[in-house]
Structure 1
Amino acid sequence: MSDFLIKTNHKPKKLAVFTALTAALLITSGCQSLQGAGATSSPSSMVQAQKLDNFTITGKIGVTTPANSATNTGAQGGSAFYAWGQQQERFAIELIGALGIGKTNIEYDGQTATLVSEKTGTLTADNPETLLQKATGWQAPISQMPYWISGRSAPSDSAPQLDEQGRLISSVNGEWTASFTYKGADKLPVKISAVQPAGHKVIMTINHQSS
């Protein structure tokens, strides 16, 4: 998957250059875009999970972990700028200021997740959640994010709630409860907040890029 890596500038203020680079990677990979799922018109309707779309986004992600009395550590937090390129079930993420481990690349091919950073070297796991926790100690619902970014519930979600415009505003996945913020009449969220009762929290701002 080395051809699917996102090449970026080290300066966060240059995140705009990710758009053309990730879009070019998706095009040259030979994939065909999938049509997005139409939103249901009734707030009480279930959001139908569809195949993953292809997309390119940038933004910032913040992660908070609760205090741990066993290790006598208080609540901790970290943040990173990111660029995310999605190709159906595959994705590549590049993180800058990556939650305490420096510039980091995370890739997932649908079966194996790989993380590479200067601090950790190369790590692999069956899923990106296990990989992130192994590398940083942080927890985040990465596998659900591609659906949520597209404004849809993940296949394993429960209790999705829609607003009057048929947009997903909340959904539950295991211990995670996600809420979604939209700008104006946009159909895609500009912010996702996911929390666990124990105190884990992820806040992700999203800049959707044109295809």
Structure 2
Amino acid sequence: MSVCKKSPLNKLSLLAAMTAAMVVTSGCQSLKTANATNQPIGTVQGQNTAQPKKLESFNITGKIGVTTPGSANSGTQGGSAFYAWGQQNDRFAIELIGALGIGKTNIEYDGQTATLVSEKTGTLTAADPETLLKKATGWQAPISQMPYWISGRPAPSDSAPKLDAQNRLISSVNGEWRASFSYKGNDKLPNKISAVQSQGNKVVMTIDHQK
């Protein structure tokens, strides 16, 4: 799959090898709040410590689970998929297997248009990946914020970020979404992101960074 013919995503090897062991860890984390009024996210209790930069490119694999409150008759619904995600600047390519009830699925975004291809839906397009995912599956997920959150830092439109004792992002708010982050040992990048929307939608994503 490709985002564009000249994109480095053309030859992402992780999209050809989807078998990755998922390890989900969580631990005790002490909270520190970044003052969003005058202090940058890297300033905590008077200490100016650099936060991780947004990763301009990354290759990750893992598992994503989505739950939605559903209707009064159907109750809570959910689905899950294994994924491989290749990011290059604002472009990305995602391959999903067991894709939330619509079969193997490819999602690509070139910075302006999102395209989804699956066995069940055929080819769909939308202006942004969130609209596309909802159109294809009915699920909602904060995809546009994920490249920042995967990098261990808040998205530009986030508010109320909180850091742990190691200055790692452990929670952040983006509109109706509240995200929390877990880390393996002393890793600086999260290995699990959980995002809950005020309307009851929830996304849990485990992350294995490919080196």
Given the two structures, how large is their TM-score scaled by the length of structure 2?
0.80
Instruction: Tell whether the 8 Å contact from 1:79 to 1:97 is kept in structure 2 after alignment.
Output: yes
Instruction: Tell whether the 8 Å contact from 1:102 to 1:118 is kept in structure 2 after alignment.
Output: yes
1:175 equivalent to 2:176? Answer yes
Amino acid at match of 1:94: E
Aligned counterpart, 2:25? none
What is the CA-CA distance between 1:41 and the residue it aligns to? Answer: 5.8
**What's the % identity of the aligned pairs?**
73
Q: Alpha carbon RMSD of aligned pairs, Å?
A: 2.3
- The aligned length equals 183
Please state which structure has a larger fraction of its residues in helix.
Answer: 1
From the superposition, tell whether residues 113 and 166 of structure 1 become closer, same or farther in structure 2 (CA, over 3 Å): same
Whose relative contact order is higher, 1 or 2, with alpha carbons under 8 Å and at least 6 apart? 2
Instruction: Tell whether the 8 Å contact from 1:48 to 1:153 is kept in structure 2 after alignment.
Output: no
Amino acid at match of 2:200: G
* Aligned equivalents of 1:110, 1:191: Cα separation in 2: 25
Q: Say which of 67, 89, 94 aligns to 1:64.
A: 67
Listed as ranges, the gaps of 5+ residues in structure 1 are 17-38
From the superposition, tell whether residues 186 and 48 of structure 1 become closer, same or farther in structure 2 (CA, over 3 Å): closer
1:145 equivalent to 2:153? Answer no
Amino acid at match of 1:65: T
SS at match of 1:188: coil
SS at match of 1:134: helix
Aligned counterpart, 2:135? 134
* Aligned equivalents of 2:50, 2:177: Cα separation in 1: 17
Listed as ranges, the gaps of 5+ residues in structure 2 are 22-40
What is the CA-CA distance between 1:52 and the residue it aligns to? Answer: 4.7
Instruction: Tell whether the 8 Å contact from 1:180 to 1:191 is kept in structure 2 after alignment.
Output: yes
* Aligned equivalents of 1:143, 1:112: Cα separation in 2: 12
Amino acid at match of 2:139: W
Amino acid at match of 1:58: T
1:207 equivalent to 2:208? Answer yes
Given the two structures, how large is their TM-score scaled by the length of structure 1?
0.80
SS at match of 2:131: helix
Amino acid at match of 1:117: S
Instruction: Tell whether the 8 Å contact from 2:49 to 2:167 is kept in structure 1 after alignment.
Output: no
What is the CA-CA distance between 1:42 and the residue it aligns to? Answer: 2.0
* Aligned equivalents of 1:2, 1:15: Cα separation in 2: 26
* Aligned equivalents of 2:167, 2:57: Cα separation in 1: 21
* Aligned equivalents of 2:52, 2:124: Cα separation in 1: 30
What is the CA-CA distance between 1:40 and the residue it aligns to? Answer: 2.5
